[in-house]
Amino acid sequence: MTDEATTKAEIAALRADIEQLRADHLMHAETVPPEQAAATHQPGDTSAAETSSPAPAKFEEIQKAVQELADTVESDIAEQPVASVAAAFLLGILIGRLSAR
């Protein structure tokens, strides 16, 4: 059960990170006029984008967290394959019943 709670906590943290990134992006898009944003970005110039925004670092953090979550889920499935198949089957039945309504 602690693995399930840990997984849920990690998913909640990822959702919060994604929402924060969206909010930061929207705030940045509103404060910088489109003409200025287009003029400051040159094709092939990634250093300006990397230094002006912490987004690439956040995306790397999110990517690492998702990979760790996938590894955890994979190991849990390997440890208890029957329970994983049963859970997937029950989830499929639940989704089928909800979508039929």
Model confidence pLDDT, tens digit, residues 14-70: 888 888 888 888 777 667 665 555 555 555 555 444 455 678 888 899 999 999 999
Mean pLDDT is highest, among 6-15, 16-25, 92-101, for 92-101
CA angle 63, 14, 46 (to 5 degrees): 40
The rounded radius of gyration (Å) of the Cα atoms in the chain is 20
Model confidence pLDDT, tens digit, residues 69-81: 999 989 988 999 9
Angstrom distance (rounded) from CA 90 to CA 92: 5
Q: Please, which pLDDT band fits residue 5 given cuts at 50, 70 and 90?
A: confident
Tell me the two tokens of residue 50: 């990397």
Please give the DSSP secondary-structure letter assigned to residue 41. P
Q: 50: helix, coil or strand?
A: helix
Q: Is the pLDDT of residue 3 over 90?
A: no
